[in-house]
Structure 1
Amino acid sequence: MARWSGIFKVPLCPGSRSHYKVATSLCVSSSSQSPVVPSMNAIFFNGDRVRGTGNPVIEKLSDLENIAEIIVSKLGENCNVWVIEASKFNGPFAVYKDFIPSVNQWGEPTSYDPTGDPASTSIVSLLSSCLKQVKNTILSKPKEPCVGEAIGSHFPQPKTLLFGFSKGGTVINQLVTELAFSEIKSSTVNSQHEPDIIPTSKESLLNSIAEIHYVDVGLNSSGAYITDQDVIKRIAKRVSERSLGIRFVLHGTPRQWRDSMRVWVGKEKDTMVNLLDVESRKSGGKLSFCERFYFGDKMANMQMHFEVIESMDVC
């Protein structure tokens, strides 16, 4: 098995004005005779920019390519990793306007609305644009491994793992809302079908979501976590109708969960945990969750907010 890593500035779709910086770390074949298909795609949404701190730890953990390497080290070699930065910033504030149309000028959501499925549609389009650039880059170097070769039917479709760090959690909330209100569409599986490297439709993306990680999310307004009971109930019902279960993992530090100036962040987290707890008990194991607290014996600071990326337990 081999890997190919790189970073691109890619359009959301052909002709789009929105360009996203995406760090990729992909499974590739060592030769055309031994193709490799990933067992999972991990999609990580980054948060606001923090610059000029002079802190080497923060600088290191703000680097998209380094984040991709960390995620690979946690999930194993048989995964594709995509680390996405917002296309627009208002000063240091990330604005994911293509994924969440109802955001203010600082990128804070005014609501999470599934109408039109903007997050799932944008992710599928963005990954497709990125994969095309990866293939073009690799094919321009014939001696390098190739991505996307023929895959045997004994490989299952890759699962999708979602990570939202800090402001990136808003994209995760939008996706959760879209999943809650989506419908399962039955499809016949051809035994000769070759699994796609990435989800190729919003339906395939939503159906493949297996894990959702909230990584020290927090906002200067409400909306860091899902607190709508109807959304969580719908998620549980949605998952009960498919073969693949789903796991929520809430990772946090004192920087967010114990911030006395933003007490709503911790309260929203507790509300979501309680809602997940109720529905998980009724799901027959199809929906599970856990919360993990890091650096609990330390005073809150900005460094721990980034260190959680390296310290988080994803097992």
Structure 2
Amino acid sequence: MGLLQSCFAKKNKVGVMTEEMEAYEKVRKTMVTEEVTEKKGGVAFDLTFVSEETPKMPPPRLLENKKEENFEKWKESQEKAQAEKQERAQQNREEARIQKEIDVAHKEMERLEKYVNLTTGDFFMGIERSLACSLPTVQHKNVYRQMATNQVDSSPQRGKVDVRRLIDVPGLEGKHNDVIVCPSLEITGQEKQHVIFFGGDVQTYPENMASSRNQEYLEYNLENTARILARRFPDSVIFIVKPSKMIFYTFSIYKNFLSFTDDGIPFIGNHPENKSGVEGLTHLVRLYNNAMRQMTRDNSLPSNFPPIALIGFSKGCVVLNQIMFEMFSGTKIEDVNVKGFVDRLSSVYWLDSGHVGDRDAWLTDDTILSAMVDKGLNIYAHVTPYQIRDSLRKWIGKEEKKFVEKLKHLNGNITEGRHFFDEPGSIENHFKILKVF
């Protein structure tokens, strides 16, 4: 303020310094003096500051209050961009899901390296091939149908019992399973009994096992297993239910009978898809009846029905657990055919049950076990150290112990067979139980 006063005062006796004049000139360029009033002791004045920059004007369309002429085009481009963004997000989620499945399979393969005779490197070299083979191709199905038409094994050998493949046998609406029948003779209903078998991991058609990295266990393919069971149960008919899905030609998924997680872990009990409470049991009964029809001359059910035995091996035992749950958890059964099936069920065999989850390899629910005893079922539990002494899955041994002890406490008809306990647990003896139980 002193600078301005020194510049404007009329009776200013103080000389203006050069630097003050220069500063004043700089200031004067950015202000306009509108009114100056002389007062004693100085001057009063009004200042208006002016910007040296030209202000930016709003867009013409806003000044003119006009709408965007290409609004529809802009809207369309925005929607397209959003759709592409969502598509990329979905693709990323799908890739993450697939990667998760591969990681889970990798871990499981490492745990079961001796089981499938794979090294980690071999596994990843075979992933692409295995993924391509995880579901039957049209060509495969045509080959299967040709084999089924021939009604005999694709490579019969002297002394072998003939088997017949029934492809895509219908069960519950929208659900199908392949069924292998042995011997491949006409069903009359006069047989000693009908045996229904659910296999474990690795077990599939012989040509699939021969062309995969599970060749070491080719002897236990589903067709040869049918022959093994036919010798174990003479004068009977063997029905082997093939799982509707296999991951990497190795992991069996019985999704038509019970729920499985994306990681291949089974869930025993009620689930949202099981609206009637007995969908797994109903699918089994219809599958079995339709398989019998295909094994008769006039495509009809026989007039007589022999007793039924259910057998599960390894992961296949989870189907038995679900069937027992549905039979004996209190759900009312309305279907006449299902009731007849339950009445004819006489025996149930658990052979070295186990899977990759953390529960329900063996039934331990008191209500279900008590109902099994009340029905008078002949119950068999055959085990090897491979499952019940697995240090990484100790829960399996604990459940099997409860299963046997509770049934004995209930005075049930329970027979426990313990095999190869003088040897370390091995996958070879795990499979060998199919021959010795």
Provide the TM-score with structure 1 as the length reference. 0.74
Q: Paired residue for 1:75?
A: 233
Work out which of the residue numbers 106, 110, 113 in structure 1 matches 2:267: 110
Work out which of the residue numbers 168, 177, 180 in structure 2 matches 1:20: 177
Work out which of the residue numbers 210, 224, 233 in structure 1 matches 2:370: 233
Q: Paired residue for 2:381?
A: 250
RCO higher in 1 or 2 (8 Å CA, sep ≥ 6)?
A: 1
Q: Is the 8 A contact 1:90 1:105 kept in 2?
A: no
Q: Which moved more, 1:104-113 or 1:291-300?
A: 104-113
Cα pair distance change 1:294/1:234, threshold 3 Å: same
- Which amino acid counterpart does residue 41 of structure 1 have in structure 2? H
- Which amino acid counterpart does residue 274 of structure 1 have in structure 2? E
**How far apart, in 1, do the equivalents of 2:186 and 2:169 lie?**
26
Alignment of 1:170-181 (within 5 A): 170-181=318-329
Q: How many residues align?
A: 263
* Residues 1:309 and 2:309 are matched in the alignment: no
Q: Paired residue for 1:300?
A: 425
Q: Is the 8 A contact 1:41 1:81 kept in 2?
A: yes
Highest Rg: 1 or 2?
2
Deviation sequence 1:25-61 (CA, Å, 0-9, x none) = 148469xxxx661121100001112651442xx2111
Q: Paired residue for 2:197?
A: 44
Unmatched segments (≥5 aa) in structure 2: 1-160, 204-211
Work out which of the residue numbers 272, 290, 313 in structure 2 matches 1:129: 290
**How far apart, in 2, do the equivalents of 1:217 and 1:127 lie?**
23
> Alignment partner of 1:201: what SS?
helix
Cα pair distance change 1:208/1:266, threshold 3 Å: same
- Which amino acid counterpart does residue 80 of structure 1 have in structure 2? V
> Alignment partner of 1:81: what SS?
strand
Q: Paired residue for 1:60?
A: 219
Q: Which moved more, 1:102-111 or 1:7-16?
A: 7-16
Q: Which of the pair is proportionally richer in helix? A: 2
**How far apart, in 1, do the equivalents of 2:383 and 2:173 lie?**
38
Residue 123 (structure 1) shift: 0.9
Q: Is the 8 A contact 1:20 1:85 kept in 2?
A: yes
**How far apart, in 2, do the equivalents of 1:29 and 1:23 lie?**
14
Provide the TM-score with structure 2 as the length reference. 0.55
Residue 90 (structure 1) shift: 2.8
Sequence identity, in percent? 24
Cα pair distance change 1:212/1:255, threshold 3 Å: same
**How far apart, in 1, do the equivalents of 2:184 and 2:384 lie?**
32
Residue 82 (structure 1) shift: 0.3
Q: Is the 8 A contact 1:165 1:215 kept in 2?
A: yes
Residue 105 (structure 1) shift: 2.1
Unmatched segments (≥5 aa) in structure 1: 140-145, 187-198, 240-244, 281-286
Q: Is the 8 A contact 1:8 1:130 kept in 2?
A: yes
